[in-house]
Structure 1
Amino acid sequence: MPSHREAVVAAIRQELAEARGAARAVLAAAETARGEAQQRRGLVRDAYATCLNQLAEARDAARRDIQRRYENESAKLASNVRRLAAISATGAAGTPWRMWTPTEPEPGSRPGLLRVGTLTIDDTALLPALVPLLDIAHVNLSGDQRTIDGIITGLLLRALGSTRPGQVHLTVYDPEHLGGTLAPFAPLGVISFVGPGGLGAMLDELVEHICRINETVLAGGPPVDSWRVIVLLADAAAAAELTQAQRAQLDRVCRTGVSCGVHLIVRGVDLVDHPTVHRLAVREGIAYSQATGELEIRLDPPPPAEQVAAFCRATAERLRAGPPPARFADLEPAEYWAESSAHGLAAPIGDTTDGTLIEVPLGDDPPHALIGGPSGSGKTNLLYAWLAALATRYGPEELALYLLDFKEGVSFARFVPGPRDPAWLPQVRLAGINVNADREFGLAMLRHLGEELRQRAQAAKRFDASKLSELRGEDPDGHWPRIVAVIDEFQVLLTGRDAVADEAVALLEDLARRGRSQGIHLVLASQDVSGIEALWGRSGLIGQFTLRIALPKARRILAEDNLAAALIPRFHAVVNAQSGASGANVVVRLPDAGDRLVWRTLQRRLWRSRPAGCEEPRLFDGDAVPRLPSSCRPSGPVPPPSAPIGNSPGAVLGERIDVAARPARLRLGRMPGRNLAVLGTRIDEACDVLASAALSLAAQGPAHFSIVCPDPDAGRHAARLIAELPSADWRDDLPGEEFLDVPHYVIGYTLDAFADHTMLRKLLAEGPERRTHVLGWWRSAGRLRDGLGGPGARLDPIGAWVALDVHGSDLAPLYPHPGGPVWYPRTRRALFFDRSVHRTPEVIIPYEVNSDHT
């Protein structure tokens, strides 16, 4: 048995072994923990390193993005500056010298900035450097004298090349070189040089000029459209010699000149500090501008002296030739037919010297226009320009045109369909050409307008409207366009003391007085109104024409003390909306509007855009002979409902001179006197009247015709007629008492050739009641009277007659009023009188029926 000591030792050894085991376990755990910690520290280090790398990459990316953004913003800013520079200095104001040419400014535009060089932002951005001058600032330069003189030469050339010739006048004060510094500008024609002793007088004159401009602008005058540029080339000695008075005047010009179109370009003298003073400093070939701050300006080289001199010579030639006419295309609006005529019409006829379009109004005030100018002054051209401007702004629903030309020409023929061009101006309702011998057509047009005025007045009364704008507002479904009636050489219509002139004056006066409120406007054009007898004592008529347009050398259009028309050059006109009073003149440059090709192109464009239902206009050509309509021939269709025949057959004798081109008809009923006498010696026209009457009667139903022709000269006409009639017989003498079941018409050629007129008198007296009518031709009124019984015979059996080359006094026996009608025979015109219808005869145009070429 072990001893106690051994047991204790064993126990201690056991505890030591356990302690060593526990220590080893603790050491093992510590090693494990240490490994894990090291591993964790490695992970942290790796994560930190990763974050640093990411931060570095992010920082580098941010730097690159900032650089990109900077570069993008810089490029965008440079692009904006270039774009602004291109807008601010267009054409000759900003083009480099190697590509430089003078340019005309757009109409109504104002001057911009002028290029002097380039701005360098970095190695890639080169931007135009611009300085202000016209309408904006004075330019004060300091630094190297030779460099400054080159800058001034460039500024002047750019200012002159970007404005119209004559708009900029130069004054040069150059005491050191006596004007030689700017010698290349000497041929310009709008430049003056001031000698060394003339500075004070020049400054005084500038101050007076500024005072006059201020007075004009304050009084409501036109804005400044021309400029005076004063170039002061002084050195230090000349600047020191300025007197106190001269310095004061220079300061006044500096403060007030820009608003009055006076600008200073000064070298060697410091101008007073003012917002209108722009300073440009030059140091060692580099300029610094007040507008660009510290940015350096690399100056452009001065333009070559040969280029300056060539430009000045060309400009001087243009000034001597005078301003060219305005462009026809400038009168057209951006959009066709976009305007409303409810409150009036306004359209340009030309422009001013600065290109501003001048609109001519027609409405409540002024309501009517009077145009005057001698032959060759351009009245027709002016009317073309005005009509083009109106037709492109107002569509056919807004404007209706009535055109009448009493000249021996075809000025308005281009606006209606022609043999080579079917297009027409959609706004035209009627056009009359070659009507100098047909005043009756002018009267017919005035009657038509008078009827239109009556209808509009009645409509306005129904809607309680006092003017056209109110009527259109109250009756939006109505068709109420404004009407413009143009009458060229209107004095022809009013010439003489006869019934046509009296009625025409009365109608014109009524239209002028009441037309303004109903949207009817008159435009009268004439070479001279001084000799119009019909207007004597009718100042109220001319007084309605408050819009006056005077062409060069026009007389009696403007007021007697207004001499503007005598001073204007060709292609110009004076527009005055205050009855020609002095002080209301506007001088307008007129375009060349007579080019047929340009007009045809414009008219075709408008014609293709015409609305549905736009009717073809009526053309009356006084030189054209109308043909017998196909509806008036036996083989033609039944006459349209618009021209009813009625119960009595109607013989068509010719075309009436009216707006509707209606035929003149003679009713042949069962009443006494329903016979026709054609009087005159013009065989072709007399035979055409008989043929048109016979053929039109044959087209209306069953009838029989007896053709009587004792004259062999008329035989060919009679033969052609009988060949076309469905039921006819040729007779050598008059028919007896033959009674037919259908109307019987005796067509007699040269009935005065018969020796015995007994049967003729019997037919004339008794035939109409039995539906037998005589339509005969007598070669004079005297022969007709002789055939009916002599000087004392009653002519009642002749109820209607057509007179050809028979004077009015010879027709007295056939006329119910003493003395006979007022009638002056002319070719292809006849005087028609039907006792049962007419109070006074009417002029007709015999149709062309069976002439040789038909």
Structure 2
Amino acid sequence: MGSHRNALVAAVRQELAEARGTARAVLAAAETARAEAQRRRRVVREAYSTCLAQLAEARDTARTDILRRYRTESAALASNAGTVAALCAPGAAGTPWRMWSPTEPERGARTGLLRIGTITLEHVTIPGLVPLLDGAHLSLDGDPAQVDGVISGVLLRALGTTRPGEVRLTVYDPERLGGTLAPFAPLGLSFVGPGGLGAMLDDLVEHICRVNESVLAGEHASLAALTAATTGPRPEPWRVVVLLADPDGAEELTPAQRAQLNRIVRTGVACGVHLIVRGIDLPAHPTVERIVVRDGAAVCDTAGDLTVRLDPPPPADRITAFCRSVAERLRAGPPPARLADLIPDKLWTECSAHELSAPVGDCTDGSLVEVLLGDDPPHALIGGPSGSGKTNLIYAWLGSMTARYGPDELALYLLDFKEGVSFARFTPGPRDPSWLPQVRLAGINVNGDREFGLAMLRHLGEELRARALAAKRHDATKLAELRVEDPAGHWPRIVAVIDEFQVLLAGRDAVAEEAVTLLEDLARRGRSQGIHLVLASQDVSGIEALWGRSGLIGQFTLRIALPKARRVLADTNLAAAVIPRFHAVVNADSGVAGANRIVRLPDAGDRSAWQGLQRRQWRQRPDGWAPPRLFDGDAVPRLPEAYRPAGRPAGEPTTVGSSPGAVLGERIDVAARPARLRLGRMPGRNLAVLGTRTDEACDILAAAALSLAAQGPAHFSVACLEPGAEHAAARLVAELPEADWYGAADLTDLFQVPPDGIPHYVLGYGLDSAGPEHRAALRTMLTHGPEQRTHVLGWWRSVARLRDDLGGPGARFDAIGGWVALDVHGAELGPLCPQPGGPVWYPRPRRALFFDRSVHRFPEVIIPYEVNSDHA
């Protein structure tokens, strides 16, 4: 047992020795970092001081050299010094008082030097500068009135080059009781009276200890280094302490006060504490800048032997006006972030393997608020009434995300169900050919086309299944693992944004039911495969299809509520009712009150700001990157040239073994694909166009005929029995390579055209106007024609008239294998559709219901192509 204890003691001693060695190494590294930071802070000062020293040397050399050489060298050196001075003291830091105005710095910009006057050498004048913020303490000596003027100017320039609230000013003025710097009083600065010096110094030392312990924590040598290493605002404001002692002699400090003052001199600059002293001796230290003022001029450490002609002090009324404006801005709170503040300097540097993280705005202290999409939270719900800023929030979020994640890391699907073009700016347009490379699909003006929203969800469902199969093959459980196991695969995170999503779920029809089913599947399984949903709405209180499924709404743990939003947060969370405009509540815990973060949103709707960001990304897109698909519900697609006879390359052979397909319109789908009716040699391969909208019926027949003509040799017979369609029919005959025209008196000849083995297409405009004497021949052609490669593509103005031509009330519709309904209600289509009672169909302009008995289980909505219009 004794040997065991001895071994244990030896082991403990060894561990203690190693720990001490590690601690010494850490302290040495920290000291090295602090020394390096001090060296970097001296670089700017040394560059300016070096230029001034060279200028003084040139002056001394010139006294013994020829005058011409002196003037040449001094002018060149003065020019260099002036250039350095302009870089060291830009804007309000170096502008003469007659042109002076405050200049707020860019986020992350370093502080510079401050002007106190000018340096004149012969005919050359350059600014005289001194350091302060993150640079030095100032020790001033000389005539008190002139010294106080220099202090007022330095303070005004320091305040004018920082943001409101970033500099906190404390004044110790026992002789004039704060009257020396009274114009700065509107800032609410702290005045320390007689007897308060010791307590003030103790407070500053405690503040420095707290910053070193809690803020820097051994990771950074100074607040300046910490601010430069982060993208947020400065973690602690500067504290500038002005000590104005008795001008008749140096103030006697107690040993304790002197010790505290020495500690502040040594450690204050790194922690953002700066002294400006008159009448108290400061110890010698590299951070102390000494300025001696005599007769309107001064000499200082930075300028060396050169004399600085002091600027006149700024007028007291100008100081007061400036401080009042700053105080008003402080009372109003800091301004919200700009879109540019959310954008990193370098684009596309982040990886989305584990999550997507991007700021959407800033909080009250100016720090940016990050919003996360990943395993938790996986999906987001945004709510707010009209005018509360949903679109602006979405713009800010998309801009921030796309700036961080390139098109290989992020794929966006954007859908807007309200009337507008919110997402059109991300796609190529006539005014701006650029697009956002991350966008794969954008749908606008789709409030009347819920089918397109359903098509997008189906597409995402297919992508989810593909990713699940790939994960199964590679034995991966989530996207990050799949990307490791399959590095050659293309697996970006997908974010689908659906604005005014309640339109998609309105009612209790088949579209809403399927949409809810798809949403629930994507919400449950999408998180592991990197597919995220962002749903936005003005008011979600009446969406029974969504709120009736707690399992679905429970997946949307990220909630963003705009002012006056209802039911987005928990019922007991009333934060959205009290936040002001241009703010939002971000809650990543399903709306529970304790997880609220109040965010101020930038103005992200400015088109010029977006164009700059978008064009930067567009120019950086990978070679051959395809533009996104834009679906505009208000746009009418034209028949593509490839489906016209002139669009088929000369000599291109007809596809052997496949049935010709009549193109009828564009499918409402993720891809812009045509809706086709195959016309093979099977019974019922005919088309009936139903409705009274003449222009659209003519366009459907023309698109079908022209696309068939583009597929190979065929013969066309055009029968126009509707006077209102004669012009459209004549245009079609003129464009078809082989076509015969038949009128009402020629129908007997039309129905007796013998088959010759070449496809024969009979196009009938207003076939319900044919007399009863032609019905038998028409039925014969509809019934037996397809077997002989003769197909009827006809227009009837109602289902009842079609039934009459097929044999009356008891007639069957077997001869009509495909139909397109225009302004015919769903109940009337019952005899033609397998759905009991007919399809749920509400006719609307430029939309049609297409059903092919050999393909469809249920009819689909299509957009008839524009064919007969004269405009492009």
- What is the TM-score normalised by the length of structure 1? 0.75
Contact 1:747 1:776 in 2 (8 A): yes
CA distance in 2, matches of 1:409, 1:471: 38
Relative to structure 1, is the Cα distance of residues 344 and 715 closer, same or farther in structure 2, using a 3 angstrom cutoff? same
Relative to structure 1, is the Cα distance of residues 505 and 266 closer, same or farther in structure 2, using a 3 angstrom cutoff? farther
CA distance in 1, matches of 2:725, 2:439: 43
- 1:776 and 2:794 aligned: yes
SS at match of 2:347: coil
Relative to structure 1, is the Cα distance of residues 282 and 700 closer, same or farther in structure 2, using a 3 angstrom cutoff? closer
User: Residue 751 of structure 1 aligns with which residue?
Assistant: 767
CA distance in 2, matches of 1:836, 1:722: 30
More off after superposition, 330-339 vs 721-730: 330-339
Relative to structure 1, is the Cα distance of residues 627 and 288 closer, same or farther in structure 2, using a 3 angstrom cutoff? closer
CA distance in 2, matches of 1:358, 1:429: 27
- 1:816 and 2:815 aligned: no
User: Residue 825 of structure 1 aligns with which residue?
Assistant: 843
**Counterparts in 2 of 1:646-795, with a 5 A limit?**
647-725=658-736, 726-732=738-744, 733=747, 735-741=750-756, 742-756=758-772, 757-795=775-813
User: Residue 102 of structure 2 aligns with which residue?
Assistant: 102
CA distance in 2, matches of 1:125, 1:652: 80
CA apart distance, 1:833 = 1.4
Relative to structure 1, is the Cα distance of residues 445 and 278 closer, same or farther in structure 2, using a 3 angstrom cutoff? same
Contact 2:146 2:293 in 1 (8 A): no
CA distance in 2, matches of 1:193, 1:444: 65
More off after superposition, 467-476 vs 356-365: 356-365
- 1:850 and 2:868 aligned: yes
In the alignment of these two chains, the number of paired residues is 783
Relative to structure 1, is the Cα distance of residues 136 and 644 closer, same or farther in structure 2, using a 3 angstrom cutoff? farther
CA distance in 2, matches of 1:484, 1:91: 43
- 1:340 and 2:351 aligned: yes
CA distance in 2, matches of 1:636, 1:621: 25
Whichever of the two has the greater Rg, that structure is 1
More off after superposition, 423-432 vs 382-391: 382-391
CA distance in 1, matches of 2:676, 2:195: 88
CA distance in 2, matches of 1:385, 1:596: 12
Contact 1:117 1:130 in 2 (8 A): no
CA apart distance, 1:843 = 0.2
Indicate which of 182, 187, 191 corresponds to 2:188. 191
- 1:375 and 2:372 aligned: no
Relative to structure 1, is the Cα distance of residues 517 and 83 closer, same or farther in structure 2, using a 3 angstrom cutoff? farther
CA distance in 2, matches of 1:157, 1:589: 29
Contact 2:378 2:558 in 1 (8 A): yes
SS at match of 2:732: helix
Tell me the amino acid that sits aligned with residue 747 of structure 1. L
**Counterparts in 2 of 1:415-564, with a 5 A limit?**
415-564=426-575
Contact 1:164 1:354 in 2 (8 A): no
More off after superposition, 482-491 vs 278-287: 278-287
CA apart distance, 1:799 = 2.5
Relative to structure 1, is the Cα distance of residues 706 and 354 closer, same or farther in structure 2, using a 3 angstrom cutoff? same
SS at match of 1:635: helix
- Any gaps of 5 or more consecutive residues in structure 1? 1-63, 69-74, 241-249
SS at match of 2:647: coil
CA distance in 1, matches of 2:603, 2:162: 23
More off after superposition, 168-177 vs 700-709: 168-177
CA apart distance, 1:821 = 0.8
Identity within the alignment, %: 70
Contact 2:751 2:778 in 1 (8 A): no
CA apart distance, 1:513 = 2.3
Tell me the amino acid that sits aligned with residue 394 of structure 2. L
Indicate which of 608, 611, 628 corresponds to 2:622. 611
- What is the TM-score normalised by the length of structure 2? 0.73
Tell me the amino acid that sits aligned with residue 191 of structure 1. G
User: Residue 164 of structure 1 aligns with which residue?
Assistant: 163
User: Residue 31 of structure 2 aligns with which residue?
Assistant: none
User: Residue 35 of structure 2 aligns with which residue?
Assistant: none
Contact 2:137 2:265 in 1 (8 A): yes
Tell me the amino acid that sits aligned with residue 185 of structure 1. F
Relative to structure 1, is the Cα distance of residues 817 and 225 closer, same or farther in structure 2, using a 3 angstrom cutoff? same
Relative to structure 1, is the Cα distance of residues 97 and 350 closer, same or farther in structure 2, using a 3 angstrom cutoff? same
Contact 2:464 2:522 in 1 (8 A): yes
Contact 2:720 2:729 in 1 (8 A): yes
Relative to structure 1, is the Cα distance of residues 197 and 804 closer, same or farther in structure 2, using a 3 angstrom cutoff? farther
User: Residue 801 of structure 1 aligns with which residue?
Assistant: 819
CA distance in 2, matches of 1:724, 1:636: 12
CA distance in 2, matches of 1:287, 1:562: 62
SS at match of 1:845: strand
Relative to structure 1, is the Cα distance of residues 378 and 711 closer, same or farther in structure 2, using a 3 angstrom cutoff? same
Indicate which of 833, 839, 842 corresponds to 2:857. 839
Tell me the amino acid that sits aligned with residue 748 of structure 1. G
User: Residue 36 of structure 2 aligns with which residue?
Assistant: none
CA apart distance, 1:845 = 0.5
More off after superposition, 681-690 vs 575-584: 575-584
CA distance in 1, matches of 2:293, 2:494: 70
Tell me the amino acid that sits aligned with residue 791 of structure 1. P
CA apart distance, 1:718 = 1.8
Tell me the amino acid that sits aligned with residue 163 of structure 2. R
CA apart distance, 1:551 = 3.9
More off after superposition, 297-306 vs 605-614: 297-306
Relative to structure 1, is the Cα distance of residues 333 and 268 closer, same or farther in structure 2, using a 3 angstrom cutoff? closer
CA apart distance, 1:464 = 1.6
Relative to structure 1, is the Cα distance of residues 442 and 192 closer, same or farther in structure 2, using a 3 angstrom cutoff? same
Contact 1:138 1:264 in 2 (8 A): yes
